[in-house]
Amino acid sequence: MARKDLLDLASLDRSEIDHLLEQAVPFKEVFTRSVKKVPALKGKSVLMLFYEPSTRTHSSFEVAAKRLSADVTNFDVAHSSVVKGESVRETVETLQAMRTDYIVVRHGRSGLPAMIASQTKASVVNAGDGAHAHPTQGLLDAFTLKEVFPEPEGRRVLIVGDILHSRVARSTSKVLKKLGVEVAYLGPGSLLPRTCPLGIPRFTDYEEAMRWKPDVVYLLRVQMERQEAQFFPSLREYHRVYGMTHERLKRIEDAGIWLMHPGPVNRGVELCDQAMDYSRSLINTQVENGIAVRMAVLYWLKPREG
């Protein structure tokens, strides 16, 4: 059953998640062809509405839409009437008059994609809203994990870092838990929720977390832009206590543990330089899979007619 919008993963049931992850498989196969395009959304239009910076999400949605043969318009916020004070509502009403079919939106305010969805017939995809949700990141993470572990139930993913400000942690945890994956959080107490949802264990000590025996260590980006207060003494100290140092990298290599990160990476903070060449790093695979998963999402959603 198709939906109009994808705003978060909380409302998706297991069969919908399975459907999207299965649909992404043939779309990934399209990348290996000499003509990397299918006519699935020919004649449809996709509007990219990014009020916050993005490299991976923006470019992979654009590539995904183009590989589905949709027409893509990039709304350039910095050179638009937004700088003259035009509100999001007025901007969306103006763009809606152009009869766009899909709006991919990123905004610093939680809940803004839902507000846009309620006022437009276009399908709205949340490409990240404040600290609330980043549903396509969660789906691409699940897809990447399933490529390594086709039966992921019971596998263990340790998410490390700034859980408090992370929409990635929220969305990725939700989808992994729905797939039966065990999730735990590790980070400074100041960057962990006091009570973790979904019965997720919470560690502040790296060694204790490693005794939990994860199959994957998923490092989050330290989000300087969302931190109003100083949550740890220094970036060097953060790297020493919670980062993937050279010494820890050797240990996870010996233990056969996989490494994930949503990007962009703060080198020397979450990851040491050597981690970029780690043989079990899935970071580039996550980026590649983002296109296939976003193709599946756009193909699945159904804008309201009329």
Instruction: Give 197 or 264: the residue with its C-beta nearer to ligand CP.
Output: 264
Residue 70 has a CB neighbour count (10 Å cut-off) of 21
Instruction: Give 57 or 281: the residue with its C-beta nearer to ligand CP.
Output: 57
Contact 81, 91 (CB under 8 A): yes
Residue 271 three-state SS? strand
Instruction: Give 204 or 285: the residue with its C-beta nearer to ligand CP.
Output: 285
Contact stretch for ligand CP (CB under 6 A) within 49-57, 96-104, 113-121, 235-243: 49-57
Residue 180 three-state SS? coil
Cα–Cα distance measured from residue 190 to residue 200, given in angstroms and rounded to the nearest whole number? 17
- Of the residues 113, 135, 188, 262, which one makes contact with ligand CP according to CB under 6 A: 262
The strand pairing partners of 203, in sequence order, are 186
Q: Does 201 bind ligand CP (CB under 6 A)?
A: no
Instruction: Give 116 or 140: the residue with its C-beta nearer to ligand CP.
Output: 140
- Of the residues 111, 130, 263, 268, which one makes contact with ligand CP according to CB under 6 A: 263
Instruction: Give 172 or 210: the residue with its C-beta nearer to ligand CP.
Output: 172
How does 124-147 read in b/e, with b if 16+ C-beta sit within 10 Å?
bbbbbbbbbbbbbbbbbbbbbbbe
Instruction: Give 187 or 262: the residue with its C-beta nearer to ligand CP.
Output: 262
Within residues 112-131, the interface with ligand CP by CB under 6 A covers: 128
Contact stretch for ligand CP (CB under 6 A) within 17-25, 80-88, 185-193, 256-264: 256-264
Cα–Cα distance measured from residue 298 to residue 302, given in angstroms and rounded to the nearest whole number? 8
- Of the residues 45, 57, 100, 173, which one makes contact with ligand CP according to CB under 6 A: 57
From the CB of 182, what's the least distance to ligand CP, in Å? 23
Cα–Cα distance measured from residue 160 to residue 243, given in angstroms and rounded to the nearest whole number? 8
Contact stretch for ligand CP (CB under 6 A) within 35-43, 70-78, 257-265, 275-283: 257-265
Of 245, 250, 303, the C-alpha closest to 279 is 250
Contact stretch for ligand CP (CB under 6 A) within 52-60, 72-80, 151-159, 202-210: 52-60
Q: What angle in degrees, to the nearest 10, is found between the helix axes of 135-148 and 167-178?
A: 50
From the CB of 266, what's the least distance to ligand CP, in Å? 12
Contact 220, 166 (CB under 8 A): yes
Cα separations in angstroms, 194 against 27, 197, 203, 243:
40, 10, 11, 21
Contact stretch for ligand CP (CB under 6 A) within 50-58, 88-96, 152-160, 242-250: 50-58
**Which residues sit at the interface with ligand CP, rule CB under 6 A?**
54-58, 128, 137, 262-264
